[in-house]
Structure formats: structure tokens, C-alpha cells
Structure 1
Amino acid sequence: MAPGRRGRIIKRTIAIAAVVALSLTMEITGFLVSPESERPEVSYATLHAMVPLVFAACAGVAWAIGPSPVPARLMVLFPVVWIPLPFLRVIEDLGWLWPLLYGVHLWWGLLTGILVLLYPRGDFGDRLARVLGAIALVASVSYLLGTVLLAEPPAALCDCAPNPYRIIDAPVMAGVIDLGYRFIGVVLALVISVRFLVRWIRGSVPARTVAFLMPLALLAWATTLAAQAVTYAANATAPQVLATVSLVAIASIPVSFVAGISHTRNMRARVADLMRITREGADRGLWAESLARTLRDASVRVYWWDEERGRYADASGDPIEHDPADRNGDHSLLPVASPTGMPIALIRHDRVLTDNMRLLDGVSSALRLSVDNGRLRSEIERTLEQVRQSRARIVEAGDEARRRIERDLHDGAQQHLVSLGMRLRLAANQARDRGIEPLGVELDGNIAMLNDALKELRELAHGIHPSLLSSGGLALAVPELAGRCPVPVEIDVQAEGRLPEVIESTAYFVVAEALANVAKHAQATRGWVRAHLVDHTLELVVRDNGVGGAAPEGSGMLGIADRVDAVGGELTIESPAGSGTTITVRIPLGATD
């Protein structure tokens, strides 16, 4: 945890603990100093004391996950102004203090109303919310000033010292201010509640999902507040059950606030699932469906940018022929662009989701990453295909070059050497006919050297590209190749007909390299070569009973792997120590199409 964050957490914890201690102190001392006949029931006093504790606990959660620190600060301030009236008996001798506390003892209603107006983004969402908040603040300040400057000691609550701040003796005016403030508070609470309830009912699924608890809490609070105001104005005693319901409703408001922002936070967490679903690329139909499920908004539409035509179109390619944002203002548009500013898509969503810009930012990032992943994946696949085709062309060009060299050697240098040998033989015969025996012997020696050179040239030409492979395919070339191996090799070649040249050439050189390894390193007494066509795939197996332990990173094995990979084949090497070596190659015939 960062030092700065640790310090903030410590400060917040101290603040919450301080207001909780202050609230409990006021509640307990006020209860203890009250006459037994005037004390409320223990259950009610306990419930009354728990309300600020709920606000304080929710403040800690709101500080941790809320979009703004303002709601958490209001929740922390709530226990300070949640002043039980019996507490006035504790400070009744402090004439300078009780008027101030009595002037703010109803400010908990101001904080609660503003908290609701800030829901869920942590700020006033529109002009009406700002106007209602301003009215509540002006009314609360006016009540404080009127109480401090005009109020008399409340004889029914305490035997308080005289109010040192009172400027005139106007009890009627003080009563009007008191009733007027309560009336304004009830009206504001009802307006806020009705406004919130109407928006909730008319809202879409996302709107109702985000604010799923607050309407019930507001309705209960406003109703009981109105009933209590009426009984207070009538100088009557409110039923205990009404006061209890009111306390429960008040305590449920911060819980509803925290539950709402927690739900919003969980919606942002579901963006990670959206990225997981679409990490392979932006399949347009899947993306729109997954996005609607993530946002729980069936009205979500995704319009994709058509770069060729310079316009947005839906997943099926049909262009937009109308304004995606409806005239009623129930939806908003979220443009998504690449880091370079190139348009990617246009997302139409429920307007309520604009209250959660972090969620929309996450959606934009997910879509941008998905598109980038799809584009990168396509580029990689295209590059790999180009590399594969390039390697195949290199192999084919190499085979063609070897065939040409073999043909040139056979038709050129080899024929010249054969012709030269015939002339030397003719010259040797003529020398003996004329009695020049030493010349004949010398010419015979030259002929022998020429025959050796011709033999080596034929073997070189055969190694470059065997003529049997060109004329008869693997069925003739592999047995001839095995016949030149010093280790007995059993051949089983059942390739039906001729195969593509590049595949035959690759298979031949795999067998040649493998048998060379058998002769040089395997210390084997027997070998096996098997070549069959299985499901349109050439399966080639070269096996020996040698010492095993063949290294895949050896130059010979790497050469085999490169040639096989160039034609889209697969190579498997099994060479346990002491159990021989088995090389298996599978080459699909369609790899060279």
C-alpha cells in the first residue's frame, strides 16, 4: 500500500471513529440525564443511536469505492448534527452552546436530502438538483440564524440558561420560522422523493438496476417525515411506530447509496468479462450481444465505422439512415476511436449510463483493445501465411535448382567425360597396335582416373537430385536410397501414384538425412522406412534399433524440421536412450495447393 494512501485511510478512520464517539456520547449522556418518566424506550433509543453509526460505516465504504469523496464527507458529518434533544439537558448551563446545537439539530435532513441529490455520481446531475440543494441550504442557514437570534430556552426540553445571542423577544416569529423550516423540509423531501421515483419508474432496465433500493427508502422517509411534521404542527405526539419506521428509512438511505455505487462498480468489473469474451477479436454480432448483457441494457446498439465508405453501419453492414439518438433523449451516443483518432464504432446506450463514465471508459477500452487484437491477429496470420508461402517457394526453387544442376551435370559434364573416356580408350588401343606399350599403359591409368571421377560425378549428381525420384517417385527412389545405406533397411512405401514434387522431394531428403544419421551415429543393426497416405496426408516414419538419444537441436534434425515446416508438415522425434530413434513426419497433401 502506498504511503499516501495509508495516510488517507488512517485519517478517515480517525474521523469516523471521532464522530461515532461524539454521537454515542450525546446519545448516552442525553438518555442518562433525562428523567425516567421522560426517557424513551431502550429499543427506540438504541435504534436512534444506530442511525448515525450506519451513516459512519457507509461513509467508510463510500470513501473506498465511491466516485467522489463528497457523499462520504456528508455521511461523516451526519452523526455530528444527529443531535438527540435530551442532550440539551447535558449542556443546558452552557448558554453559548445550546442555541447553536439547537439551530443545527435538524440539519441531518439537509445532509440526507443533498446525499440523495448526489446519487449516484457524487455530484448534482442537473439544474433541478442544484436548485433543490440551494433551497435546502438557504432554508437551513435561515433556520439556524432565526433560532440563534430569536429562540427562547425550550422549557419542555431543558432548564437552559438564557440565550445570549437573542436580539429581540419574538416567540411568535421564532415559532413561524420553526414551522416554516419543517414545512419546507417536508416539501423538499417529497419533491426529491417523487422526482426520484418518477425517474426510476420511467427509466430503463439499467436505470432501475442502478437505483434499485433508493426509491423505497426515500418513499418511507418522506412519508414518515410528513406525518411527523403534521403531528408536530398540531402539537400532538407522533405514534411510536411512525418514529421507528422513520428511523429505519433514514438509516436505509446511506445503505442504498452504497449498494448503488457498489452495483455500479460491479458493472465495471464485468467489463473484464467482456474483454475476455472478445479478446480474440471483435466479432460484431457477439460484441453487441455481450455488451448488452454486460450493461444489462437491451437497447444497446453498436454501429461500426466503414472506412471504405466513410460512414457508420450496423453489424450486418447496413448504413445508418437516421439519428441513432432518439428524440426523447433516453439514449446517448458513445463514440469509440483508436489512439490515432481513427473512428472505430458508435455505441448507443441508455442515458443513465452516462452517470458512470468509468464504466463507459472501460467499455471503450474493451472495444478498442478487442479491435486491436483482431487487427493484430489478422496481421500475424497474414504474415505467417506469407512466411510459409515464402519458405515453400524457397524449397521449390531449391529443388528446381538441384534438378537443373543434376540435368546439366548429366547432359553436360558427364557426357563430355564419357566422350573423353572413349577417345582415351581408342588412343590406348592405337598405341598398342603401333607397338608403343608404355603410352598404352599410361593411357589406361588415365582412363581409370577418369572413370573414378565420372563415378564421383554421378554420385554427386544423384545426391543433388536423384533421377529416380523425378522419374518414378518415392516408390523407386526410397528403395534405391536404402540400398546404399550400410545398415539393412526394411522398406514399406505405399504412396498411391505420384505426389506433388515438393512433397516427394521433402520426403526423400527426410529419409536421406535420417538414414545418414542411422549409418553414422545410431550404431543400429537394422532400420525401417514406412511411407503411407492416411486421410490425404503423407505419413513418413523412419525408425532404427540403435542407441537412441538423438538431439533435436542437431544440424541434421534442424534441417529436417525446416524442410518439413516449410511445406506445412509436422515432425515428431522419439529417441529415448537405448531404445532407438523414431522420426515421424506428417505432410498434408493440400499444404502445397
Structure 2
Amino acid sequence: MAPGRKGRIIRRTITISLAVALSLAMEISGFLATPVGERPEVSYTTLHAIVPLVFAACAGVAWHIGPARTPARLMIAFVVLWIPQSVYHVIGGWQWVWPVVRGVDLAWAVVAGILVLVYPKGRLSGRFDLWIAGIAVVSFVVNLLVVVLFAGPDVNPCGCAPNGYQLAEAPVLFAITDVAYRIIGVGLALVIAGRLLVRWVRASVPARTVAFLMPVALFAWATTLTAQAVTYAVSSNTDMVLGTFSLIAIASIPVSFDAGVSHARNMRARVADLMRITREGADRGLWAESLARTLRDASVRVFWWDETRGRYADAAGDPISDEDLASRARHSILPVASPLGAPIALIRHDRVLTDNMRLLDGVSSALRLSVDNGRLRSEIERTLEQVRQSRQRIVEAGVEARRRIERDLHDGAQQHLVSLGMQLRLSANAAKAAGDLELATDLERTIVMLNQALRELRELAHGIHPSLLSSGGLALAVPELAGRCPVPVEVEVQGEGRLPELIESTAYFVIAESLANIAKHSRATRAWVRAHVLDGDLVLEVRDNGVGGASIDAGTGMLGIGDRIDAVDGTLAIESPAGAGTTLTVRIPLGEAKWAAAEWGL
């Protein structure tokens, strides 16, 4: 935990503890100082003492999750100002103290009203909020001045000392001000509650979600407060049942505040789900649908920037209209741009969501990241496709180079050697006819050496590009290749006609390298080679009964096989348990290859 954060937590904990201690001290001392016959019931007193505890606990939560510090501070102020009437039996003899306490006796109601007004932003916003708060504060100040300057000790049935601040006795003025103050408070509470309740009923789903339980709690409190004010104005006593319901309603206000803020915070957490859904790129239809579910706003629309046409359009390509851009009572427009300022999209959402800018910031970040992921994914796929095509061109160039070398060897050096051999044969025959046996013997030895060189040259040319593969395809080349393997090989090649040269040469050299590995490393006594077309793929299977233990990383030969197969977009699988032989399975797709074969006339 960071030192600064730890210090803030300690200071807040001390503040809450001191406020709770002060409130409980006033509650307990006032209850004990009140004569037994005048004390309220223990259950009511307990509930009365619980109310500030609820506010204190909610203040700690609001400090942690709230959008601002003001709500938590208002809750702490409520705890301090929650002064029970019975405390006058403790301070009644202090002529300079009890008038001030009596003047701020209902200040907690002003604090509770302002707490409702700052929900959920954490601050006052709009003329309505400012007017309501201003009227409440002015009424509080007027009542405080009237109480301090004109209230006599008879306003509290506690045998209080004379008012040290009293300028004159004005019981009528005090009574009118006292009742008016309570009526104004009730009126303001009803106005706030009614306004919130009407807005909640008429609002969209997102607005109701954000408002949550606050209108209900405030309306319940305002209703009981009204009944209490009427009772107070008539008899100066409050009904215990009404008082109990009022206490419960008051305690529900900070709980509703924290519940609503917590719910908005959880909405921001759902942006992570939005990121998960769109992590592979911003599919426009899916993005708008997922965003509507995340914000719980069916009216959400997303308009994407069309770089070609220079305008915004929805997922279907319909351009944004002036009606969508116009500032209306229930909707707002959230522009989303790249870090460099390039436009990405416009999000039209319910206006109430502007109160939760952290949520909208998270949505903007999610959209930017989703677009970047989609763009990066497209670039990677395009790069991989270019690499694949480049590798294929390299393999094709290698095949063509081998054919050219084989053709050059056959038409060039090989033909020259054949012609030279024929001339040497004629010379040897002439030497024998002339009786020059020594020359004839030397020429015969030269002919033998020339034939050996010619055979090696033919084998070299055959290895570079086997002529049987060119003339007869895999059906002729694979059996001939298996016949040169020192391990007995059973061959099964299904006749599927000729395949493209690149596919046939790749398959041939894969089989050749596999048989070479079997001869060198497997210690097998038998091997099997199978080639057939299955579901549009050329499937090669090379199997032996050797010692097993082979792997793709076992040497350069296997790496070469893997590279050749990757170049034609094929797959390679090896099963080689120790002591149970090795099975090499290769699948090469023929979809594009068949089209290429038709182009080549094969």
C-alpha cells in the first residue's frame, strides 16, 4: 500500500471514529441525564443511536468508492449534527452552549437533503440543485439567528439556564420561525423526492439503474417527516411510530447512495466483458449490440468514421443524420478518437450516463483498443499471407531451378559425355583392329571410368528432379523411390490423376527425406508409404516399425520437411512412441492447387 494512501486511510478512520464517539457520547449521556419518566423507549433510543452509525459506515464506503469526497464529508457532518433532544438535560445549565445547540438541532436534515442533491455525481449541478440548497441554507441560518437571539429557556423542557445571547423575548417570532423552518424543510424534501420519483418513473432503463433506490428512500423519509411536522405544529410532540419509520427512512439514504454508486462502479467493471467480447477486433454489429447490453441502454447507437467518404455511418452503412447529432433532452454524443486525434466513432447514449464519466471513458478506451486490435490483426494476417506467398514462390523457384539444372545436365554435359563415350568406343575398336592392344586396353579403362561418371551424373540429375516424377507423377516416382531404400517398403499410391507440380514435388521430397531418415536412424525392418486424396487434401503417411522416439526438432531433415509443408499451407504430425515405430502424417490442401493445375494444363 502506498504511503500516501495509507495516511489517508488512517486520517479517515480517525475522523469517523471521533464523529461516532461524539454522537454516541451525546446519545448516551442525554439518555442517562433525562429523568426516568421522560425517557423514550430503549428500542427507540437504540434505533436513534444506530442512524449516525449507519451514516458513519457509509461514509467510509463512500470515501473508498465515491466519485468525490463531498458525499463522505456530508455523511460525517450528519453524524456530528445528529443531536438528540435529550442532550439538553446535560448542557441545559450552560447558557452560552444550549442556544447554539438548539439552533443547529435540525441541521442534519439540511445535510441529508444536500446529500441527496449531490447524488450520484458527488457535487451540485444545475440551477434546481443550487436553488434548493440555497433555500435550505438560508432557512437554516435564519432559524439559527432567531433561536440564538430570541429563544428563551422555556423552549426546551429541561430547566435550561437563561439564554446568554437573548436580545429580547419574542415567543411569537420564535414559534412562527420554528414551525416555518420545519415546513420549509418538509417542502424541500417533498420537492426533491417528487422530482426524483417522477424522473425515475419517466426515465429510461439506464436512468433508473443509476437512480436506483434513492428516490424511494427519500420519498419515505419526506412522507414521515411531513407527518411529524404536522404533529409537531399541533401538539409539539411526535408520534413514536412515525418517528421509528422516519429513522429507518433516514438511515436508508446513505445506504441507497452507496448502493447506487457501487452499482455504477460495477457498470464500469462490465467494460472488461466488453473488451473480452471484442478482443479480436471491432465487429461493428457485435460491438453496438454488446455496448447496449453493457450500458443497459437500448437506445445506444454507434456511428463509425468512413475514411473514404469522410462521414460517420452505422454498421449497416447508413450515414448519421442531423437528428442523431442534435442535442436532445434524453441523448448525448460521445466522440471517440485515436491517440493521434483521428476520428473513430460517435456513440449516442442516454444523457444520464454522462454522470458516470469513468464508465464512458472506459467505453472509449475499449473501443479504441478494439479498433487497434482489429487493425493489428488485419496487418498481421496480411503480413503472414505475404510471408506464405513469398515462401511458396521460393519453393516454386527452387523446383524450377532444379528442373532447369536437370535439363541442362541432361541436354548438356550428359549428351557430351555420351558422345565422348561413343568416340572412345570407336577408337578402342580401331586400336584392336590395328593390333595396338595396349592402347585398346587404356581406352577400355577410360570408357569404364566415363560410364561410371555418366551413371553418377544421371543419379545426380535424378536426385535434383526425378524424371519419373515429371513424366508419371507420384504413382510412378514413389515406387521407384521406395525401391532404392535399403529397408523394404510397401507403397500404396491412389491414382487421382496428376496434381500441380509444386504439390507433387513437395510430396516427393517429403517421402524421400522420410525414407532417408528411416534408413539412417530407425533401425526398422519394414516401412510403409501411402498417398491418397481425402476431403480435398493430399494425405501422405510414412510409417516404420523402428525404435521410435522421433520428433519434429530431431534434426535438419525434419525441419526441412516442416518448411516445405508450411510453404504449401500443409500440416505435419508425428507419432513416435519409444519402441513402437514412427508414423509421419502430412496433409496438403488442394483447393487452390487444383485451380492452379487447371491453369497449368496439368
Name 2:134's counterpart in structure 1.
Answer: 134
Superposed CA offset, 1:185-226 (max 9, x none): 222222222222222222111111211211111112222222
Alignment deviations for residues 208-256 of structure 1 (CA, whole Å, 9 cap, x no partner): 1211211111112222222222332334433222222211111111111
Partner of residue 384, structure 1: 384
Q: Shift of the alpha carbon at 1:551?
A: 3.8
Instruction: Tell me how far apart the structure 1 counterparts of residues 328 and 383 of structure 2 sit (CA, whole Å).
Output: 49
| Alignment match, 2:257 | 257
Report the counterpart of residue 472 of structure 2 in structure 1: 472
Q: Which moved more, 1:301-310 or 1:24-33?
A: 24-33
Question: 2:301 corresponds to which letter in structure 1?
Answer: R
Q: Does 1:588 align with 2:570?
A: no
Counterparts of 2:9 and 2:249, CA distance in 1: 29
Aligned partners of 2:241 and 2:326: how far apart in 1? Answer: 47
Range with greater deviation from structure 2 (103-112 or 568-577):
568-577
Question: Do structure 1's residue 491 and structure 2's residue 491 form an aligned pair?
Answer: yes
**Matched residue SS, 2:297:** coil
Q: Does 1:371 align with 2:388?
A: no
Between 147-156 and 558-567, report the one with greater CA deviation.
147-156
For 2:309, the equivalent position in structure 1 comes to 309
Is the contact made by 1:271 and 1:366 (CA closer than 8 Å) also made in structure 2? Answer: yes
Q: Distance in 1 between matches of 2:491 and 2:224?
A: 97
The one-letter amino acid paired with 1:239 is D
- Show the counterpart of 1:201: 201
Once the two structures are overlaid, the 10-residue window that deviates more, 518-527 or 304-313, is: 518-527
Matches within 5 A, 1:23-42: 23-42=23-42
Aligned partner letter, 2:194 = V
Find the counterpart in structure 1 of residue 222 from structure 2. 222
Give a deviation string over 1:498-531, Cα, whole Å, max 9, x none. 1111111011001110111111222222111111
Range that drifts further, 106-115 or 222-231: 222-231
CA distance in structure 1 between the aligned counterparts of 2:117 and 2:57, rounded to whole angstroms: 20
Distance 2:141 2:576 in 1: 90
Residue 576 (1) aligns with residue 577 (2) = yes
Query: 5+ unaligned residues in a row in structure 1: which ranges?
Result: none
Distance 2:187 2:407 in 1: 105
Matched letter for residue 339 of structure 1: P
1:188 to 2:196 alignment: no
Structure 1 counterpart of 2:552: 552
CA-CA distance at 1:168 after TM superposition? 3.6
Q: 1:161 to 1:237 in 2, by over 3 A?
A: closer
Match of 2:170 in 1: 170
Contact 1:51/1:250 (8 A) holds in 2: yes
Shift of 1:570: 0.8
Asked whether the equivalents of residues 85 and 157 of structure 1 are also in contact (C-alpha less than 8 Å), the reply is no
1:57 aligns with 2:66: no
Offset at residue 477 of structure 1 (A): 0.3
Q: Normalising by structure 1, report the TM-score.
A: 0.97
Report what 1:562 is aligned to.
563
Q: Distance in 2 between matches of 1:506 and 1:531?
A: 13
In the other structure, the counterpart of 2:92 is 92
Match in the other structure for 2:356? 356
SS of the residue corresponding to residue 39 of structure 2 reads: coil
SS in 1 for 2:424: helix
* CA distance in 1: counterparts of 2:214 and 2:156, whole angstroms: 36
Instruction: Indicate conservation of the 8 Å contact 1:568/1:591, yes or no.
Output: no
The separation in 1 between residues aligned to 2:11 and 2:527, in whole angstroms, is: 80
Aligned positions of 1:4-23 closer than 5 A: 4-23=4-23
Structure 2: runs of 5 or more not aligned: 596-602
How far off its partner does 1:119 sit?
Answer: 0.5
Alpha-carbon distance in structure 2 between the residues aligned to 1:90 and 1:177: 25
Q: Is the 8 A contact 2:29 2:87 kept in 1?
A: yes
In the TM superposition, what whole-angstrom CA distance separates every residue of 1:383-405 from its partner, at most 9, and x where no partner exists?
Answer: 11111111111111111111111
Contact 2:88 2:156 in 1 (8 A): no
> Which amino acid counterpart does residue 556 of structure 1 have in structure 2?
G
**1: CA distance between counterparts of 2:492 and 2:510?**
15
Query: Secondary structure at the residue paired with 2:5?
Result: helix
Q: SS state of the match for residue 491, structure 1? A: strand
- Residues 541-586 of structure 1: per-residue CA shift (max 9 Å, x gap): 1111222222421100000010011111111112222222211111
**Structure 1 residues 442-492: Cα deviation after superposition (integer angstroms, max 9, x where no partner):** 222221211111111101100100000000000100011111111111111
Report the Cα offset of residue 183 of structure 1.
Answer: 2.7
The one-letter code matched in structure 1 to 2:518 is V
User: Does the residue aligned with 2:579 lie in a helix, a strand or coil?
Assistant: coil
Cα 1:260–1:403 change in 2 (3 A) is same
Report how many aligned residue pairs link the two structures.
Answer: 593
The 8 Å contact of residues 575 and 582 in structure 2, kept in 1 or not, is answered as yes
Which is worse superposed, 115-124 or 525-534? 525-534
**Structure 1 residue 158, shift from structure 2 partner:** 1.6
> What is the Cα deviation at residue 7 of structure 1?
2.2
Tell me how far apart the structure 2 counterparts of residues 256 and 321 of structure 1 sit (CA, whole Å): 39
- Write the letter of the residue equivalent to 2:75: M
Q: Measure how far apart 1:328 and its partner are.
A: 4.1
CA RMSD of aligned residues (A): 1.6
Q: What CA deviation, in whole Å up to 9, does each residue of 1:16-66 have, x standing for no partner?
A: 222122111211211111112211122221221111111111111111111
State the alpha-carbon separation in 2 of the partners of residues 418 and 65 from structure 1.
94
Relative distance call for 1:572 and 1:317 in structure 2 (3 A) is: same
Deviation at 1:117, TM superposition (A): 0.5
Contact 1:567 1:591 in 2 (8 A): no
Q: Distance in 1 between matches of 2:341 and 2:397?
A: 45
**Taking structure 1 as reference, are residues 522 and 17 closer, same or farther at Cα in structure 2, changes over 3 Å only?**
same
Q: Distance in 2 between matches of 1:360 and 1:467?
A: 69
**Is the deviation greater in 256-265 or in 96-105?**
96-105
Alignment of 1:85-124 (within 5 A): 85-124=85-124
Tell me how far apart the structure 2 counterparts of residues 262 and 579 of structure 1 sit (CA, whole Å).
62
Q: Deviations over 1:411-448 (max 9, x none)?
A: 11100110111111112222222232222222222212
Residue 156 to residue 73, structure 1, CA distance change in 2 (3 Å):
closer
Cα 1:346–1:155, aligned 2, differ >3 Å: closer, same or farther? closer
Give the distance between the partners of 1:408 and 1:162, measured in 2 at CA.
127
CA shift, 1:175, in A, is: 3.2
1:414 and 1:177 mapped to 2: Cα distance? 125
Cα distance between partner residues in 2 of 1:590 and 1:396? 17
Q: Which moved more, 1:398-407 or 1:121-130?
A: 121-130
**Range that drifts further, 372-381 or 108-117:** 372-381
Cα pair 1:495 1:533 within 8 Å, conserved: no
For residue 541 of structure 1, give the secondary structure of its aligned residue in structure 2: strand
Q: 1:161 matched to which residue of 2? A: 161
Residue 124 of structure 1 aligns to a residue whose secondary structure is coil
Calculate percent identity across the aligned residue pairs.
72
Please state how far the C-alpha of 1:325 moved relative to its aligned partner.
4.4
Alignment CA distance shift 1:234-1:337 (3 Å): same
Alignment of 1:342 onto 2:352: no
User: Counterpart of 2:238 in 1: which secondary structure?
Assistant: coil
Q: 1:177 to 1:236 in 2, by over 3 A?
A: closer
Change (3 A) 1:268 1:249: same
The answer to whether the 8 A contact 1:495-1:531 is kept is no
